[in-house]
Amino acid sequence: MVQESIAGHQQDLAARLLAEAGMTLLARNWRCGRAGEIDIVARDGDVVVVCEVKTRRAGLFEHPMAAVTPTKADRLRRLAECWLDRHGGSPPGGVRIDLVGVVLPRRGAPLVEHARGVA
């Protein structure tokens, strides 16, 4: 339960960052059957953005930006296709896959980074 609460808080930080960047949030934790889940779906102008949110504690593991492996990128592409199929097809600007990385330091506020077009 505590882990879910932490993950939810990190997604709140990511959603706020994307909204402050001018994006419109369309969905959070959107599931497509057994294919998996998209953490955040947003619109950036005429582009649909599928956003993965990854959180790491500072110093213990690899940086969250290293989390999108080729396997993960393929899964995110399949999920993006599923989203488009269920929501009217591809928008004029296409689809972009972004990553929001959250690093939790031992002290102080989390560091939140947004990388566009990671896959």
CATH number, residue 90:
3.40.1350.10
Total number of domains in the chain: 1
What is the reported pLDDT for 60?
61
**Looking at residue 33, what is its pLDDT?**
86
Structural domain containing residue 87: 2-115
| Alpha carbon distances (Å) from 30 to 39, 41, 58, 79, 108 | 7, 8, 28, 9, 31
Flag whether the pTM goes above 0.75: yes
- Reading the block at residue 71, the tokens are 């396997």
**Cα distances (angstroms) measured from residue 77 to each of 36, 59, 71, 101, 110:** 11, 30, 10, 19, 28
CA distance 56 to 37: 19
What pLDDT score was predicted for residue 2? 36
Residues of the chain where predicted confidence (pLDDT) is lower than 50: 1-6
